[in-house]
Chain A
């Protein structure tokens, strides 16, 4: 069992529904976010190539954030989901410094917060908040270990990339290009 996510950059329109859904579902404080939209433009006018990406924690296999945590507040949960125990976090920010994706932030209540792949929704058999609201259905979530899951089949049949592979973090967020 290994949770992963795929984002079809050809279908994403950058509407930010995933961002708002996450903030609502997870009570993300104002001025913070667990996911966000990045727009990449390549080329020179008139030959421009646009790529839109919905980004969040990459739930890496090789996790610098869990390694640097001095108290064990950051941990790898079921299905490879990287989580933080707020009552063990002292707010030293080492994990924020260690993340190449800048996916973590300091919650105003004094602990580090991040994407949890909506594991409270997964427990009820639901999709994550971002996946469930995506109007173009460009987000796919599932078990990347199971070769017959939707996401595995999708990744097997499409050209995809990960972000900053050179950081060696083995990210589990895949971008179909």
Chain B
């Protein structure tokens, strides 16, 4: 069992765990965490892929992807956290309602503008 394989398997397990959590959990924080777990798993996978060159040197492209991916995941997490926190402040809820009807508009909007 090579190191690459260990990394690859570990990454896959993380992705699986994350996907499960993402699909099953309703708490917003848990869903965001699940997304991060999937992300970590994927980065591990990419890292493992970087090691699979024939001459044993590492491939720089997946590493560049990992770095970019981490930045993207960080931004997404930050946005999701901010939204979830504000949502919880306004409604007291930590999970979305099942029903997803379009909400009525802000009826005061035009009056605010006078």
Asked if chains A and B come from one complex, the reply is no
Residues of chain A having any CB pair with chain B under 8 Å: none
